[in-house]
Amino acid sequence: MLTLSLILFPVVAALLVLAVRGQQTKQLAFAAALIELGLAAYAFLNFRADTSSQFGFDYPWLVNAGIRFSAGIDGVSILLVVLTGLLTPLIVLSAFQRNYDRPNVFFALILFMQAALMGVFTARDAFLFYLFFEAALIPIYFLAALWGGEDRIRVTFKFFLYTIFGSLFMLVALVYLYFQTPGSHSAAIVDLYNLKLTPEAQGWIFWAFFIAFAIKMPVFPFHTWQPDTYTESPTQATMLLAGIMLKMGVYGVIRLLLPIAPAGVDIWGSTAIVLSVIGIVYGSIIAIRQRDIKRLIAYSSFAHVGLMAAGVFSQTTNGVQGALVQMLAHGINVVGMFFVADVIMSRTQTRLIDQMGGITQHTPKLTVYFMIILLGSVALPLTNGFVGEFLLLSGVFQYNPVLGAVAGTTIILGAVYMLRLFQKTMFGKKTELTETFTDVAGSENWVLIPLCIMVLWIGVVPNAFLKVTEPAVTSLLQIINQ
Amino acid sequence: MLPIVLLSVFGIVMLFLGFMKSRAVLLPAALLFLLVALGTSFLDWGHSYLYFRDMLLVNNQTILFSAITMLSAFMVIALSGDFLQDEAAQPAEYYAIMLFSIVGAIMMIGFENLIMLFVGVEILSVSMYVLTGSDKKNIRSNEAALKYFLMGAFATGIMLFGMALLYGAVGSFTITDITAFVSLSRGGISLLLLMGLMLVLIGMLFKVSAAPFHFWTPDVYDGAPTLFTAFMSTVVKTAGFAALLRLLMAVSATSMYDRWWQIVAGITVLTLLAGNLTAVYQNSFKRMMAYSSISHAGYLLIALAALGQQSNGALAFYSLAYSVATIAAFGILLLVAKQRGKDGQRDETYEAFNGLAKQNPLLAFILAVSMLSLAGIPLTAGFWGKFMVFSTAVEKGMVWMLVVAVLMSAVGIYYYFRVVIAMYFRTGEVTAIRVAPFYRIVLIVATVLTIVLGLAPGLVQGLI
């Protein structure tokens, strides 16, 4: 029942928020997101670290077709449930100092989005998964296209078409798999794991799933929608996209692709890893060249996700574990980065890094927050980024030392563009635009402090998170290696 | 089979009501008649009878499909409130024709004898020719009616020829005899039968606007008054596919199925391509809906090419989802085209919808939901319709067909979303569209149905 409330509560709250007019919808949405966080925290604290699916519920849905409305939380989903629960209130809070028009719609869409994401991460039925996977797209599309920048219509439409096009391939694969199940057919993900498919069929399944998830993550060369969309969307939508939504792709690979088509991964996995590694290096190099602060973070996110994809496709315990922890860490870091960028942009009215400088002279608090989040992003030991990246790199290294070494350049390149960003914005001479810069205040603190705490917490005691996912990951890899 | 009798009588009563001075009674009367017919149709639920000297079979399938046509007609008529104000319009006649045409539709849906199919098709078609040309002063409406009539007459002729050949092969007009004939003749299927079947198919495929017999569709849909476009794109399609389903089920024995499935599959792919790819290039919302209607014929055809246990359930669900969404879309087009038009001209382009979300959030939401449903996005009825239809294809091992359909669905999203973009992200006229309260209720009901069926598809799916 807990899982059901995790999915349904944001929907109810969103409908409530829709009904209220005026700017106080913020408080209402924030309160709802906090309650949802409470539920997610309850799930995390009461979660037994084993392979079972917990807090679940299960209703027949399409009776004669054997499709069930079935969801629950296991070791693979728990961290993502936590991530979704944790980031949403912060994303809502980050909009407190903005006055968007039609705030009730704005915050309701965020909550709808949260409901769909919770659904994706907890679904135990493949069609339920698909349903939420697609449903998440609608609110984010409207968020990005209604409150976005000048070129928003073209850019968000491209994003929408691109990702829905990808997921349609997944639908083909799912329908096919569904009919391969024995008896009166079932779409339960566990039943799909037990299918005995020919390697050739698995090769097709691999590509159908891979295209869907690769577009979502995104993996090179399916990433072309991403920088534009991140840049044109309002900051909260970008946070949702980069912080949570792209994890649907990585999660999908772990949940569906690897266990259902292991033979397909044997054949094509190396291609996927090579593409991911290309994405890592390519994204990092382009990030170095960016003058636009949002695009820089977008490309850095692209590079980081590439590493997660490579780690997952390495099919090693370290790779998968690393990806799970890194999804949590990356979500926290990227939301932090985008928020800092938003703070800077809202005060300087520009996104161009060249026009900033000397911000530290006014802002002791912002400097500290920014530094902590940035160090998390460049994966300094004792920050959250380190745990994930270390495990991921060791996973890829185990798979193939050369690829591991190439992927490892992400640490160096990451430091280059991140520190360059910090230097150009925070240090140096003041410019006209940064002359009157004011330090973070009020609700801005309350967005950044929890993020910084999480950066350090996960960095210092990673085992609290790793041990939760470990049994599930081990059993998942057993299924794959059967 | 009460609805056939009732609707025929009600139609005549409707004509007499037209003599009355007060027009206000017409609309409620028409709605009441349909409601009564709809209610009585369920009296036969769970039983299977033959009526009219074994010419008409009434079972759950017949009832469900005819209920969908009656529901569609009910909604279309409920949206016709503005007609009563229109000086030139003849509401009594229009309502009577619509009631009569439902009789034709039910005959098509439940035919047991090919003659019944023919009579049903003609009743429905002739009604449509008249309704298409009902806007006498509009030259496009006249042209459309003539075009529809001439081409429809040809199609009817071809179909009749096919029936004659079927009779020649089987020696009987009834479905039971045809089924028996086909299942007895293992291996050697007579060429006469196959030819007859193909010709009847051509006639029927014309009616449901499947490629390459679809060329009349855009002009006729465009030229006909929007209200009747909504009527013909839902009722005719539902009835046509129900009839095709019954006909093809009769010849579904393996030896015969192997002969015709490739042909139907080919037509399916052609229809999907023709409908979706041409819809992309339309600048008029109404013409886009015409091409979209062709594309939906393609999706529905999948369930026929992959004929099996699930086909009737899939077709019924799809027809319902499609009808509800289409009527909502045309209903809003009616309002927008009229009130945003200039100099008495209707504006049916995408631009007419610009900024609708600002002034009429409810209308914009309803149209958005109906577009999402037609595009097959999850959590709407349209998604499950597509899902069920696609499932039939995969069950028969036609994964390649599924891939084509899925690619075309992606194309569909492109043109359906153009109107969503216009409504939500562009700025347009500041004047809000006026909506009559009853009109609003119908639109809301359509949206609620779309969403409820999207969340709980089992409600209808369990019926067949």
Which one of B276, B359, B406 would you mutate to disrupt binding with A, by most A Cβ within 10 Å of its Cβ? B406
Is A130 in contact with A174 (CB distance < 8 Å)?
A: yes
pLDDT tens string B320-335: 999 999 999 999 998 8
Distance CA B295, CA B272 (A): 5
Give yes or no for a cis peptide into A221 (omega within 30° of 0). Answer: yes
In the beta sheet, which residues pair with residue A359? none
Instruction: State residue B87's pLDDT score.
Output: 59
Distance CA A70, CA A188 (A): 8
Indicate whether A65 pLDDT > 80. no
Instruction: State residue B72's pLDDT score.
Output: 95
B394 and A179 within 8 Å at the Cβ level: the answer is yes
Burial A69-80 (b: 16+ CB within 10 A, else e): bbbbbbbbbbbb
**Mean pLDDT, residues A42-59:** 86
Q: Which residue in chain B is spatially nearest to A176 when comparing CA positions? A: B394
Nearest to A153 among B414, B421, B461 (CB): B421
Strongest mean pLDDT among A17-26, B286-295, B395-404: B286-295
Distance CA A292, CA A354 (A): 9
Q: Which residue has the higher pLDDT, A420 or A481?
A: A420
Q: How far is B361 from chain A (nearest CA, A)?
A: 11
B272 inside 8 A of chain A by CB: no
B414 and A161 within 8 Å at the Cβ level: the answer is yes
Q: How far is B420 from chain A (nearest CA, A)?
A: 10
pLDDT tens string A312-340: 998 888 889 999 999 999 999 999 999 99
A138 inside 8 A of chain B by CB: yes
Strands A54-62 and A67-73: antiparallel
Mean residue pLDDT across chain B:
89
Other Cβ atoms within 10 Å of A19 Cβ, number: 11
The torsion angles phi and psi of A364, rounded to 5 degrees, stand at -60, -40
Nearest to A145 among B387, B407, B424 (CB): B424
Q: What percent of chain B has pLDDT over 90?
A: 58
Q: How far is B283 from chain A (nearest CA, A)?
A: 18
Mean residue pLDDT across chain A:
88
B399 inside 8 A of chain A by CB: yes
Indicate whether B77 pLDDT > 80. yes
Name the band, by pLDDT with cuts 50, 70 and 90, for residue B150: very high
Q: Which residue in chain B is spatially nearest to A142 when comparing CA positions? A: B424
Name the band, by pLDDT with cuts 50, 70 and 90, for residue A112: very high
Instruction: State residue B152's pLDDT score.
Output: 92
**Mean pLDDT, residues B151-160:** 93
Instruction: State residue B205's pLDDT score.
Output: 94
A18 inside 8 A of chain B by CB: no
Angle between helices A262-289 and A199-216 (to 10 degrees): 20
- Three-state secondary structure along chain A? CHHHHHHHHHHHHHHHHHHCCCCCHHHHHHHHHHHHHHHHHHHHHCCCCCCCCEEEEEEEEEHHHCEEEEEEECCCCHHHHHHHHHHHHHHHHHCCCCCCCCHHHHHHHHHHHHHHHHHHHHECEHHHHHHHHHHCHHHHHHHHHHHCCCCHHHHHHHHHHHHHHHHHHHHHHHHHHHHHCCCCCCCEHHHHHCCCCCHHHHHHHHHHHHHHHHHHCCCCCCCCCHHHHHHHCCHHHHHHHHHHHCHHHHHHHHHHHHHHCHHHHHHHHHHHHHHHHHHHHHHHHHHHHCCEHHHHHHHHHHHHHHHHHHHHHCCCHHHHHHHHHHHHHHHHHHHHHHHHHHHHHHHHCCCEHHHCCCHHHCCHHHHHHHHHHHHHHCCCCCCHHHHHHHHHHHHHHHHCHHHHHHHHHHHHHHHHHHHHHHHHHHCCCCCCCCCCCCCCCCHHHHHHHHHHHHHHHHHHCCHHHHHHHHHHHHHHHHHHHC
Reported pTM: 0.90
Q: Which residue has the tokens 């860490």?
A: A329
Residues of chain B with C-beta less than 8 angstroms from the C-beta of A127:
387
Instruction: State residue B68's pLDDT score.
Output: 94
Which one of A140, A171, A197 would you mutate to disrupt binding with B, by most B Cβ within 10 Å of its Cβ? A171
Tell me the two tokens of residue A28: 């209402």
Q: How far is B457 from chain A (nearest CA, A)?
A: 7
E strand intervals along B34-181: 49-51, 56-58
Q: Which residue in chain A is spatially nearest to B396 when comparing CA positions? A: A179
pLDDT tens string A369-396: 999 999 998 888 888 889 889 999 999 9
Distance CA B236, CA B105 (A): 7
Taking the CA atoms of residue A82, residue A85, residue A89 and residue A94 in that order, the dihedral angle to the nearest 10 degrees is 60
Kind plus residue range of the DSSP H or E element containing B237? helix B237-250
A178 inside 8 A of chain B by CB: yes
**Mean pLDDT, residues B430-439:** 84
B377 and A138 within 8 Å at the Cβ level: the answer is yes
Residues of chain A with C-beta less than 8 angstroms from the C-beta of B381:
none
Tell me the two tokens of residue B227: 């209200």
Distance CA A285, CA A299 (A): 9
pLDDT tens string A7-28: 899 999 999 888 887 768 888 8
Compute the Cα dihedral for A231, A234, A237, A242 and give only its sign: positive
Name the band, by pLDDT with cuts 50, 70 and 90, for residue B252: confident
Indicate whether B188 pLDDT > 70. no
Instruction: State residue B256's pLDDT score.
Output: 84
Residues of chain A with C-beta less than 8 angstroms from the C-beta of B383:
131, 134
* Cα end-to-end distance, chain B, whole Å: 19
Instruction: State residue A206's pLDDT score.
Output: 92
Q: Which residue in chain B is spatially nearest to A146 when comparing CA positions? A: B425
Name the band, by pLDDT with cuts 50, 70 and 90, for residue B461: low
Determine the longest span between alpha carbons in chain B, in angstroms.
69
Q: Which residue has the higher pLDDT, B101 or B23?
A: B101
B406 and A172 within 8 Å at the Cβ level: the answer is yes
Residues of chain B with C-beta less than 8 angstroms from the C-beta of A152:
425
Instruction: State residue A63's pLDDT score.
Output: 67
Q: What percent of chain B has pLDDT over 70?
A: 97
pLDDT tens string A185-243: 888 888 888 888 888 888 999 999 999 999 988 888 888 888 888 888 888 899 998 88
Instruction: State residue B391's pLDDT score.
Output: 87
> Residue A273: what residue type?
I
Tell me the two tokens of residue B293: 């209607």
pLDDT tens string A345-358: 888 888 888 888 88
Question: Could you tell me how far CA A460 lies from the centroid of its own chain?
Answer: 22
Indicate whether B136 pLDDT > 90. no
Tell me the two tokens of residue B183: 């299942």
Indicate whether B462 pLDDT > 70. no
In the beta sheet, which residues pair with residue A71? A57, A123
**Mean pLDDT, residues A171-189:** 85
A134 and B391 within 8 Å at the Cβ level: the answer is no
B406 and A138 within 8 Å at the Cβ level: the answer is no
Distance CA B70, CA B65 (A): 9
CA nearest neighbour of B396 among B318, B302, B464, B319 = B302
Distance CA B240, CA B108 (A): 7
Q: Which residue has the higher pLDDT, B427 or B68?
A: B68
Instruction: State residue B374's pLDDT score.
Output: 94
**Mean pLDDT, residues B55-80:** 92
Instruction: State residue B187's pLDDT score.
Output: 60
E strand intervals along B108-164: none
Q: How many CB pairs under 8 A join A and B?
A: 78
Indicate whether A482 pLDDT > 80. no
